[in-house]
């Protein structure tokens, strides 16, 4: 029996590739080449499935060029690279990789919060440049994390992980805003209090963004929201770059209207707004919130599970548009 043909769009852990090779006729990209849109479309032609990593756009145009395609499995919790309605209309299943990266990403969110509040990157650059020749009482003084007010915008699994770390590890007063309020039991576990969006930005000493991206969420944090924040506050984004108006943020950071920011995601990534690069009071990391060896392997294996389950008949674990399965049943 002929194996289904799949494309693996980027390099993945060798163990996951070995698993997939046992089930499929695989075209892999372990050289991790960055294909143009035309090259990606050409390689997708004739494939039954695809393993994507969050940067490969699956939309109506590509789907029309790839009529054999039946499933795309994202090795990411986010899926703004998928036009899910177009995929559903074409009968193509979309899957993502939630849950397995929750705790690791929450760790990174808190790491960025700490680094921003205590000016870690700025002081390290100063030391490495050979500028440290004496101690001063106000040298790189930042702001405290313990006992401060933590505001979490987006209280899904990762947001709750950040809230728990703040409340239980650092004795923080945790407030949050979400599209819908959490149940009382979850609020109690996170020691979190629900507030309006404006109250969150006005009250918090440290704001962490953990929202998914959508057109409606574009620039959720702009000049207005930043203007509500304390001058001594910090802003951390581990959600998606498009959530923040980066020019408004650069204005506030450059003018001293905000203590600092920690950013793992960017609107035009991998290109970074040059205004942010020029600022000392912003910690910048290249979208690595889930980058631990065990977590990245777990993400790859979940994407592989979705492909294997779909074609074996056992079913995918994390479908985004399960109606496609019902139509095929």
Catalytic one among 218, 219, 257, 269? 269
Active-site residue flag, 328: no
Contact by Cβ (8 Å): 266, 246: yes
Catalytic one among 70, 165, 177, 287? 287
Contact by Cβ (8 Å): 116, 262: yes
- E-state strands within the chain: 5-8, 25-27, 49-52, 71-74, 93-95, 149-153, 173-177, 192-194, 206-209, 234-237, 260-263, 282-284
Contact by Cβ (8 Å): 51, 28: no
Q: Report DSSP state, residue 243.
A: G
Active-site residue flag, 269: yes
Catalytic one among 240, 246, 267, 296? 240
- Lookup result for tokens 């979400």: 178
CB environment 12-29: b (16+ within 10 A), e (fewer): bbeebbebbeeebebebb
Determine the Cα–Cα distance for residues 171 and 140; give it in Å rounded to an integer: 24
Omega cis (within 30) before 270: yes
Active-site residue flag, 255: no
| DSSP assignments along 122-189, one per residue | HHHHHHHTT---S--TTTT-----TTSEEEEE--SHHHHHHHHIIIIIH--EEEEE-SSPPPHHHHHH
Which residues participate in catalysis according to the annotation? Answer: 240, 269, 287
């Amino acid at each position: 029996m002929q194996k289904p043909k799949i494309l693996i769009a980027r390099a993945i852990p060798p163990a996951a590739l070995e698993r997939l090779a046992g089930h499929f006729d695989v075209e892999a990209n372990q050289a991790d080449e960055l294909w143009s849109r035309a090259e990606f479309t050409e390689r997708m032609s004739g494939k039954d499935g695809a393993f994507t990593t969050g940067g490969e756009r699956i939309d109506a145009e590509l789907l029309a060029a790839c009529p054999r395609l039946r499933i795309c499995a994202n090795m990411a919790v986010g899926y703004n690279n998928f036009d899910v309605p177009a995929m559903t209309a074409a009968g193509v299943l979309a899957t993502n990789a939630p849950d397995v990266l929750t705790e690791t990403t929450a760790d990174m969110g808190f790491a960025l919060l700490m680094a921003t509040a205590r000016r870690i990157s700025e002081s390290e650059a100063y030391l490495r440049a050979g500028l440290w020749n004496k101690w001063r009482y106000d040298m790189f003084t930042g702001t405290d994390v313990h006992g401060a007010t933590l505001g979490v915008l987006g209280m899904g699994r990762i947001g709750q992980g950040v809230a728990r770390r703040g409340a239980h590890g650092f004795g923080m007063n945790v407030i949050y805003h979400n599209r819908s309020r959490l149940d009382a039991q979850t609020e109690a576990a996170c020691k979190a209090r629900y507030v309006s969006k404006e109250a969150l930005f006005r009250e918090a000493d440290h704001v962490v963004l953990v929202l998914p991206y959508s057109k409606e969420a574009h620039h959720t944090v702009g000049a207005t929201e930043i203007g509500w924040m304390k001058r001594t506050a910090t802003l951390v984004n581990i959600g998606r770059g498009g959530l923040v108006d980066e020019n408004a943020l650069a204005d506030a950071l450059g003018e001293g209207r905000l203590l600092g920011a920690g950013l793992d995601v960017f609107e035009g990534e991998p290109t970074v707004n040059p205004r942010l690069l020029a600022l000392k009071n912003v910690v910048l990391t290249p979208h690595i919130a889930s980058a631990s060896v065990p977590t990245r392997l777990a993400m790859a294996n979940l994407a592989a599970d979705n492909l294997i389950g779909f074609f074996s008949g056992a079913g995918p674990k994390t479908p985004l548009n399960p109606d496609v399965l019902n139509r095929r049943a």
